[in-house]
Amino acid sequence: MTVSPPDAPYVSVELYAQVQEFYARQMNLLDGSTADPVAWSRTFTEDAVLGSNFQDAPDTGQPAILRSMREALAHIAAQGTGDFRHWLAMLDVQPQADGSVRTRYYGLAMATPPGGSLRIRGHVLCHDELVRRAGRWLVRRRHLEADGVPA
């Protein structure tokens, strides 16, 4: 997905707000003492593909996505990085002819160790393909591009 040109029509307000809300809830399922990786993985379709510029190969399917996230959370916990938080912003939404939507947004990962100071751990450019199933948005495809990764 390229950046929306300045003269692209605005999307419906219902769609824009729902996607914001979807992401707030999805990320909330990853962070802090209430993290629930299984519930998080269910915000992806069963056949979803999650790739990035910091992995060798994309994860294909809910189980693989869940496994990778569990490994990442265990790695974070082992490092003692403390309270981990994801922030998203600068959301651009592009509805597609088949009812799916493509999104582009920024993500920041940050963590505060016990008694220590917050450290920003990295910035990611995110592109998603979302589909609607039973009235809920799910991620069918996600690509993460971490800033500062040497090409």
Site residues (CB under 8 A) for a copy of itself?
2-11, 13-14, 16-18, 20-29, 32, 34, 36, 39-40, 42-43, 82-83, 85-93, 104-106, 108, 110-118, 120-123, 125, 135-136, 147-151
The CB-of-39 to a copy of itself minimum distance in angstroms stands at 6
Q: Which is nearer to a copy of itself, 7 or 56 (CB)?
A: 7
Minimum Å gap between C-beta 148 and a copy of itself is 4
Residue 55: strand, helix, or coil: coil
Element holding 58 (H helix, E strand)? none
Q: Please, what is the minimum distance in Å from the beta carbon of residue 72 to a copy of itself? A: 18
Give least dist CB 29 to a copy of itself, A: 6
DSSP state letters, 128-145: EEEEEETTEEEEEEEEEE
If we measure between CA atoms, which residue out of 38, 58, 60, 36 comes closest to residue 48? 60
8 Å CB contact between 141 and 49: yes
What is the smallest separation between the CB atom of 66 and a copy of itself, expressed in angstroms? 13
Is the CB of 99 or the CB of 135 nearer to a copy of itself?
Answer: 135
The candidate with the shortest Cα–Cα distance to 122, out of 82, 84, 94, 93, is 84
- H or E, element range at 37: helix 37-41
CA distances 21 to 85, 87, 89, 113, 130, Å, are: 17, 13, 12, 28, 13
Give 36 or 71: the residue with its C-beta nearer to a copy of itself: 36
